[in-house]
Amino acid sequence: MKIRPWAKFASDLPDDHIEDGPRIIQFGGKSVARAIADILRDLGYKVSEPVYADENGWEVYVLAGEPRRRLWCQVTFMADHYLMFFGQNSWIADLFGTRHPAYVDALSRLAAALADDARFFEIRWFTSDELYTGATGATCPVEV
């Protein structure tokens, strides 16, 4: 199974990046992170409000499955929107090539919901190795 936890996409949600001259007051992406949190809630997950992460954008914490698994989503805006969606201890999963079913299910369901939501478009999914290589990405984050 190949997992692509990174998405690059466009959105017509309002730009909420705030600058005061050369100083950045708030990095953008909050409206997108809030919309993604709402989508995850609508899918039945327990989801935090977006948390500001400075230049990294906005983080959302998710509980999924039984027993509850901690998942983490970050939205960063840099000309395009970037989303990363990881499970608890994802680095261990990367080492051993396994992913918890609750994570795979949440990632798949989020991808389907984003694809069906007109506010999000040009969505492409990537592995960490593919993201900045010029690869075209995939239409789905989970490849069996």
Q: Across residues 118-124, what is the average pLDDT?
A: 96
What class does CATH assign to 2-143?
alpha beta
Residues in the chain, overall count: 144
Instruction: Reduce the secondary structure of 104-123 to three states and give it as a string.
Output: HHHHHHHHHHHHHCCCEEEE
The model carries a pTM of 0.89
The pLDDT assigned to 25 comes to 87
CA 11 – CA 96 distance, rounded (Å): 34
- Structure confidence by residue, pLDDT tens digits, 50-84: 999 998 999 999 998 877 888 989 999 877 888 89
Band (pLDDT 50/70/90 cuts) for residue 94 is: low
Give 18-39 pLDDT, tens digit per residue. Answer: 888 898 888 889 999 999 999 9
